[in-house]
C-alpha cells in the first residue's frame, strides 16, 4: 500500500530492514524463537518488513501529501462543531458541504460518541517508552550489531526493542501492569517500577536510555458499527484501537485508509461504500485483536505455561513461523 501511494521510497531512506524478530527470555537473553525477515520477508510477503520512528513515517506521509495538489492540509485545527444536515456535513469555519466526515481522531476519539455509547477502556497496563543510541554499550551488549527486532518475555511483562532512524537508535517499549493514569504520553516515567521489573533480567542496563515516558494502554471494544450513515465513519484507533501486542494499530489505520479509498472509488454511493468497508475490515481487525490477546498471554506467561511455550517455540522452524504470519503480513486488499 505504501508503495502504491509513493510513500515507500521516502520511507526506505530512513527505515531499517531488520533481519529477524527474536523472541528472547528476559531473564538470561536466550533466543527462544527466530522469525526470519530481511530478504525472506520480501520474497514471501511481497514487501520488506521495515521498522521506523513514528516521526519518520509521518514525514514520509507529509512529503506525499504536500506534493498532492488534491489535498489541502490544515494543521493545529481542532476538529469539532460539525453539522450533519441530511446526507451532507459542514463546518462553521468553511462554506463547503461534504459527503463524508472521516473521524481519525485516535483512541480517545471525541467523534466516537456520535456513533456509539461505548468508549475506550483501560486494559490494566502501562507502556514505558525510551530511545537508546545503537552505540550505547547497553545496546551493543543486549542487541548486538545485526539489526533485529527483540521481544523479551518475562512473567507478567514484556519489552520490545527495534532499530529506527537509519539504525542509529533503538526504540524501547516495556509493558508493565499498572493503574490508570493521565491519558497520553507522560514525560518522566516512574523508573522505580522499571527497575523493579528489570531486576533479575538482562535488561537492567536499559534504564540508562534517554527520556523514559509512559502511556496507559486502552482498547476500543468491538463496535457493532463504525459508522453513522450516510456521512460519518470512524477509522483507525477511533474505530478499533487495539493493544500494541501485535504491533499493528498504525498498520491497521493505514490499511483502513487504503481500503476506504478503493471502496469509495467502486461503490455507487457513500452509504454503500461504508457498508462494504465495514464488511471487509471487521474480520481482519478481529483477527489482529485475537493475535494481540494471544501474544499478551504467551509473552507474559510464567511457570509451567512458560515452559510449554518455550518447548513449542523450540520445535518451530523459521519457515513454519513465517507461514504462521502469512495471514497478517501477506494480506492483500480484495
Q: In the bound complex, what is the minimum distance in angstroms from residue 64's beta carbon to ligand FAD? A: 16
Q: Which stretch binds ligand FAD (CB under 6 A): 186-194, 206-214, 247-255, 313-321?
A: 247-255
- CA 214/CA 182 separation, integer angstroms: 10
Binding test (CB under 6 A) with ligand FAD, winner from 197, 234, 247, 270: 247
58 binds ligand FAD (CB under 6 A): no
- CA 18/CA 126 separation, integer angstroms: 26
Binding residues for ligand FAD, rule CB under 6 A, total 22
Nine-digit cell string for 240? 478499533
5 binds ligand FAD (CB under 6 A): no
244 binds ligand FAD (CB under 6 A): yes
55 binds ligand FAD (CB under 6 A): no
Helical H segments across the chain, by residue range: 8-12, 38-45, 54-67, 137-143, 191-198, 237-240, 249-266, 270-299, 303-314, 318-324, 326-329
Give Cβ neighbours of residue 65 (< 8 Å, ≥ 6 apart).
71, 73
Binding test (CB under 6 A) with ligand FAD, winner from 87, 105, 272, 310: 105
Q: Which stretch binds ligand FAD (CB under 6 A): 33-41, 78-86, 195-203, 270-278?
A: 78-86
Q: In the bound complex, what is the minimum distance in angstroms from residue 304's beta carbon to ligand FAD? A: 29
Nine-digit cell string for 212? 523514559
203 binds ligand FAD (CB under 6 A): no
- The arrangement of strands across the sheet holding 97-98 comes to 83-85, 88-90, 97-98
Q: Which residue matches cell numbers 497478517?
A: 328
- CA 322/CA 34 separation, integer angstroms: 10
Site string for ligand FAD, 205-224 (x = CB under 6 A): ----------x---------
Interaction site with ligand FAD (CB under 6 A): 78-80, 104-107, 110, 127, 129, 173, 215, 236-238, 244, 247-251, 253
Amino acid at each position: 500500500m505504501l508503495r502504491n501511494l509513493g510513500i515507500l521510497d521516502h520511507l526506505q531512506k530512513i527505515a531499517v530492514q531488520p533481519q529477524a524478530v527474536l523472541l528472547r527470555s528476559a531473564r538470561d537473553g536466550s533466543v527462544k524463537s527466530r522469525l526470519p525477515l530481511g530478504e525472506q520477508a520480501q520474497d514471501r510477503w511481497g514487501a520488506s518488513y521495515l521498522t521506523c520512528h513514528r516521526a519518520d513515517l509521518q514525514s514520509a506521509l507529509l512529503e506525499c501529501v504536500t506534493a498532492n495538489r488534491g489535498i489541502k492540509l490544515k494543521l493545529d485545527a481542532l476538529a469539532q462543531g460539525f453539522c450533519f444536515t441530511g446526507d451532507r456535513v459542514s463546518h462553521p469555519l468553511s462554506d463547503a458541504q461534504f459527503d463524508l466526515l472521516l473521524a481519525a481522531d485516535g483512541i480517545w476519539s471525541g467523534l466516537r460518541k456520535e456513533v456509539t455509547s461505548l468508549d475506550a477502556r483501560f486494559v490494566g497496563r502501562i507502556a514505558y517508552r525510551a530511545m537508546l543510541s545503537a552505540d550505547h554499550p547497553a545496546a551493543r551488549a543486549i542487541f548486538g550489531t545485526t539489526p533485529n527486532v527483540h521481544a523479551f518475555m518475562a512473567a507478567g511483562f514484556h519489552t520490545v526493542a527495534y532499530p529506527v532512524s537509519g539504525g542509529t537508535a533503538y526504540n524501547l517499549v516495556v509493558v508493565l501492569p499498572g493503574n490508570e493514569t493521565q491519558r497520553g504520553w507522560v514525560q518522566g516515567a516512574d523508573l522505580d517500577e522499571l527497575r523493579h521489573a528489570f531486576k533479575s533480567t538482562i535488561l537492567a542496563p536499559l534504564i540508562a536510555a534517554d527520556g523514559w515516558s509512559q502511556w496507559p494502554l486502552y482498547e476500543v471494544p468491538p463496535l457493532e458499527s463504525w459508522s453513522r450513515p450516510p456521512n460519518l465513519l470512524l477509522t483507525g484507533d477511533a474505530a478499533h484501537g487495539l493493544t500494541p501486542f501485535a504491533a499493528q494499530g498504525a498498520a491497521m489505520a493505514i490499511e483502513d485508509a487504503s481500503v476506504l479509498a478503493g471502496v469509495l472509488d467502486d461503490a455507487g454511493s457513500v452509504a454503500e461504500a461504508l457498508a462494504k468497508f465495514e464488511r471487509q475490515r471487521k474480520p481482519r481487525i478481529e483477527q489482529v485483536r485475537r493475535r494481540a490477546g494471544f501474544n499478551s498471554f504467551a509473552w507474559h506467561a510464567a511457570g509451567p505455561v512458560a515452559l510449554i511455550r518455550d518447548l513449542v517455540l523450540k520445535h518451530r522452524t523459521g519457515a513454519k513461523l513465517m507461514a504462521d504470519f502469512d495471514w497478517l503480513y501477506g494480506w492483500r486488499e480484495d
